[in-house]
Structure formats: structure tokens, C-alpha cells
Chain A
Amino acid sequence: MTRITHSTPLLEASTLCKRFGGLTALDGVSFTVYQGEICGLIGPNGAGKTTLFNVITGLYTADSGRLLFAGQAIHHAQPYQIAQHGIARTFQNIRLFGTMTALENVMVGHHARAQSGVLGAIFNTTATRQEEQQIRETSQTLLTYCGLGNQAQTVASQLPYGDQRRLEIARALAAQPRLLALDEPAAGMNATETNTLRALLERITSDGITILLIEHDMSLVMQVCHRVVVLDQGRHLAAGTPQEIQKNPAVIAAYLGSSV
């Protein structure tokens, strides 16, 4: 078992339930994400992966269950508070700010970590100007970090698809998260783009940010994740190293359909 060296839990979910009318999207899901790892979250379509993401990031409130982030209960927090706690996310269907430039998108990502308000803006105070300047510089650095350094002034909706996905990651990183939650970042990418993405994910973890990754690209998941959690029909099915998961009969049955 190649568990990550110092296994401090960062995110702990216990018996999370979420129902939509008659549909039980999450049925008592419990799992843990450890500090410093890339944790994969996989499962067949409709397994409840995105619902789980939405519960973690506060877009949905769980009907029952608990969610601890770095020891603090966050299951009743609003989305903006989740961001302040240190969880940032990307979206399965890209949700960039379409009329803004790549740079401005990343600058918005800094919102939760900045202070300047209306009066500072109106009177153009020194503190506000310094903060703006600093946000601008950090944003440019983040774009470069994600391989978008020369796209700063391009309007987000005009960027190529793969760049849009990486811009979402840059925007999320701007919130200085401890946990980065990525919802299918490789969807629609070709092999080259996926390779670039893999390198980026590894770099982000080596910089100390924990990643929770929903992904359908199994080769990416198996290469990059330290641990994988499998969901099926709203239930926690299995968890373990990629090697263990690949051999797990229950997982194989869920993906290929069981003969029983």
C-alpha cells in the first residue's frame, strides 16, 4: 500500500445524503481526502460525482451527513464561504466569465483573498492601488504557471477549448486554495493537451495543493492519482490505490455491468 507519507486528513465526508425528489443522488457517502495527495473520484455516469462536488463546494446543501475541512464543519457554508475556507473548483461544463479577458478571469479568482471595497475604489486609495497591482502581477504569474502566459489579453470565450480548461484551473488557483476540486478537467482534450494537463496537476501538488479529481480518462487517473475513490449509484463503492482499484471486482462489475 503506497499511502502518501504524512496522512493528515484534509477533507472528511461522513454519510452524506442528497435527494432530489424521488432520486437519491448521494446515499450515505463517506470518504477522506488526505493532505498533499491527488485523490481521484471516479464512477459510471450518474454515480453522483458532480453532486458530491456541488455539496462539497456549497452549491447544494446535504440533506444529512457531515463535512469537515481542515477540522472545521463546512456542510452549512455558502459557496462564497467555502472559497474563503480554501476550496476552489472548476466546472464540468466550462464556466468562465466569457466577456472578460483571461487575465481578468484570474483576477476575479483573487476576490476572496482581497480586501479593497467601494470607498477604496472611489477614492482610489494607495492601499487599493497597491492591492490591484499585486493582484494583476500574481494573476499574470498564474497564467504563465498554467501555460497561458501569452493569452492574458484574449477574451476568455475566444480561447481554444484546452486553454479554457486550463484557465479555469488558473482562476481557481488564484483563490489560494488548500484543496483544488477539478470536475473532468481532461474532458474533450486530445492526447497532447492531456499530457500538458498531467504535468500541470503534478506541479500543483508538488507546490503543496491537494487535488480532488473527477475524471473519466482512466489512463490519466491511473497515472496521476495517489488514491482513487469509486462511487456507484450514490454509494461509496471502493477506495484505494489505482492498482487496487483496477483489480477490484466490485469496481469492474460497476463499470462493465455485473453478470450476477
Chain B
Amino acid sequence: MTSLRYASWSRQLLIISALIVAPFAIEMLLGRSWLRITDVALLYVMLALGLNIVVGFAGLLDLGYIAFFAVGAYSYALLASPQLAIHAPVLVIIPVGAALAALFGIALGAPTLRLRGDYLAIVTLGFGEIIRVLLNNLNRPINITNGPQGITRIDPLHISQFSFGHSHSLGGITFTPLHQYYLIFLAFVLITILISVRLEHSRIGRAWRAIRDDELAAQAMGIHTRNLKLLAFAMGASFGGVAGCLFASFQGFISPESFQLIDSVMILCMVVLGGIGHIGGVILGALLLTILPETLRYIGPLQQQIFGTVYIDPADLRMLLFGLALVLMMLLRPRGLWPKRQLTGQLTNRGG
């Protein structure tokens, strides 16, 4: 028993040290731009895990999830930029961003309690658009969000004197801002994974799955479906809100353009492609869908090299291949790339 626990501990230690070394390897082998992509990928992992609580655990189809990311990002931007001339400490802003996003989650959940599936998807889609349009137009009569121009010169993450926006060296190794953001994002991702895993295997997680499988039977078993659905919306939204705060601090600039319907769809794709309801699958989906489109950027220069001219615009090709990948996925692996084991068993049974 103790040796087993020791083995699992040493394995976890190995994984964590590999994750800490990873940014240096990525920067050395692939260059700085890929380190930046990795940082963004970690944010998407957080977002996908947050959406997975709503869609995967509780079975509530949400097509406006990016709105909570926007709420978090604007919370940070407004509380840490010259826009409102407020520069609050990070340790205050992130909880505020999470709480505000959770509140918006409840605001979306409360009127949609009776809706399921397609109908819920339509309302949540509208909600996502409402938030974006609101952010676009809250620049008059009083200028709060600065409208389509967005908010600039957002403070980088900083804890008292330590700013993530400057390089620091420790023991002869220089940590650039990208390294530092990688580490803080990684910490948040690990916390998100821990919370997701624990919720999934708790009384709450079971109740969510019961609601997903059969809401009526869940009620008859004494589950307060209204409160638990609102809880799922609030929990999922708060993850999105925290990711939004980190995003705003990382980018230093945000505008409503970063929070469009296509971004909600993209996060949903990460959850569905990876394996809906399965934490490992969702992480895989988020990483793949962030990294793969970036690799397609090399298609343009490649064409130039081979044919001497660019026949297909890489941006068009990206969407084309993305669409093709989605169709193939749905045909070949409808439960996702890395689904839960139980569900595959059920699927083969249904086919027979």
C-alpha cells in the first residue's frame, strides 16, 4: 500500500517537473511564438474544463460560454487599468471576477431552468451575444468599457512587488514573462483539474449526472434539480471568469472582438471532440484545438516554397480542415477522441 502510494507520488512528481521544464524546451526547440501558444492553450484548457462542468457533467448545452470569459476579462481590465483609473490588487480582482462570472451564470441559468437541449442552446447563444453587444455599447453615455476600441494598458499580473510582466532570474535561469505566465496558468489549470475531479466523484457530481440522464427520476430521488443546475452554471462560469482575468492580464489589451460566438463554439468543440464529460479527454481536446490550427499557419510559406506561389490562403484552409476534422470525428469517434470507458461499452452494446 505504502509502496504503491510512493509510486504514484513519484510519478506525479515526475509529471509536474516535466510540466515545469516544458516551457524552456518549447522555447528552445520551437521558438518564442510557440511558448505564447502554449500559454494560450492552458487558458483554453481552463475554459474547456469549466464548460465541461455545465455540458459534460450536468448535460446543459451552453453556446454562450465565452460570455463568462468576457465577464472575467472585463472585470480584470476595469479594475486594473487606466480606463477607470483603478489598480486593484490581483488577489482581490480574481475572486471578484470569478464571483461576478458565477453571478452571470446564475442570471443565465435562472430563466432557462425548464429548457433542455436545442432550446437551451438557443437561449445561451443569445445570452453570449447580449454580453458582447453590451460590452460594445457601454461607452456612452458614460464610458465604461470603451466600446469597440477595447481597453488597453491593462496591468500585468503582479503580487505585491513581483510583476509577471518583467523578466526575473533565479539561480542563473532567466524567466521571461511568457515563462512566468506559463507557470501561473499551469498552477490554475492544476487547481481546475483537481476541483473538476473531486466534484465529479462527489455527491454533487453524481446528482449532476443523474439530472443529465433523467431529470424526472433525479427529482424523485430527492435531488433539488433547480439548485443543482444553477450550481453547475455558476461553477462553470466562475472557471471561465478566472480564465478571463488571466487572459486580460496576459494580453494587456481586450476588446469585445475577442468574445464572439465562434469562440463559444470553439470551446464546445474542444469538449465534444476530446470526450464530453471526461476530464482527460477535455484537456486533450483543448490542447489539440489550440495547437493544430496554429501548425496550419505554416501551410502558406510551405506552398510558397514548393509552388513558388500561394494557391490557398492558409486562413481559408484552416477553417476547411477544421470542418473536415469535425465531420470525420463525428463519423469515426462520435464519443470523442478519449471518451469515458463506461460510455464506449454502452455504445457497442447499442450497436448490437
Interface residues of A (CB under 8 A from B): 57-59, 78-80, 82-84, 88-89, 91, 95-101, 104, 107-114, 116-118, 120-122, 124, 128, 131-132, 135, 155, 157-158, 171, 175
Question: Which of A96, A107, A120, A175 touches B222 (beta carbons < 8 Å)?
Answer: A175
Q: How many residues on the B side are at the interface (Cβ–Cβ under 8 A)?
A: 32
Q: Is the CB of B349 within 8 A of A114?
A: no
Contacts of A82 in B (CB 8 A): 220
Contacts of A158 in B (CB 8 A): 345-346, 349
Chain A to chain B: the 4 pairs with minimum beta-carbon distance, closest first: A112-B222, A83-B222, A121-B202, A79-B219
Q: Is the CB of A111 within 8 A of B220?
A: no
Task: Report Cα–Cα, A81/B345, bound state, in Å.
Answer: 35
Min CB–CB distance B224 → chain A (angstroms): 5
Q: Is the CB of B346 within 8 A of A157?
A: yes
Q: Is the CB of A121 within 8 A of B199?
A: yes
Q: Is the CB of A111 within 8 A of B207?
A: yes
Task: Report Cα–Cα, A124/B199, bound state, in Å.
Answer: 9
Question: Which of A59, A97, A128 touches B209 (beta carbons < 8 Å)?
Answer: A97
Mark out the residues of chain B between 191 and 243 whose CB falls within 8 Å of any chain A CB in the assembled complex: 195, 198-199, 201-207, 209-210, 212-214, 216-225, 231, 235
Contacts of A89 in B (CB 8 A): 220
Q: Contacts A104-B206, A108-B207, A128-B202 hold; do A118 and B220 have CB atoms under 8 A apart?
A: no
Is B343's beta carbon under 8 Å from chain A?
yes
Task: Report Cα–Cα, A108/B218, bound state, in Å.
Answer: 8
Task: Report Cα–Cα, A100/B208, bound state, in Å.
Answer: 12
Task: Report Cα–Cα, A141/B219, bound state, in Å.
Answer: 24
Contacts of A116 in B (CB 8 A): 202-203
Tally the A-B contacts, defined by beta carbons under 8 Å.
112
Q: Is the CB of B195 within 8 A of A122?
A: yes
Contacts of A113 in B (CB 8 A): 222
A interface footprint on B249-285 (CB within 8 Å = 1, 0 otherwise): 0000000000000000000000000000000000000
Q: Is the CB of A108 within 8 A of B210?
A: yes
Q: Is the CB of A107 within 8 A of B206?
A: yes
Which residue in chain B gives the minimum CB-CB distance to A118? B204
Contacts of A57 in B (CB 8 A): 220
Q: Contacts A97-B210, A116-B203, A155-B346 hold; do A59 and B222 have CB atoms under 8 A apart?
A: no
Question: Which of B195, B220, B342 touches A79 (beta carbons < 8 Å)?
Answer: B220
Q: Is the CB of B210 within 8 A of A101?
A: no
- Contacts A96-B213, A108-B223 supplied; 9 other A-B pairs, CB < 8 Å: A79-B220, A80-B225, A99-B209, A108-B207, A111-B203, A111-B210, A111-B223, A121-B198, A121-B205
Q: Is the CB of A99 within 8 A of B213?
A: yes
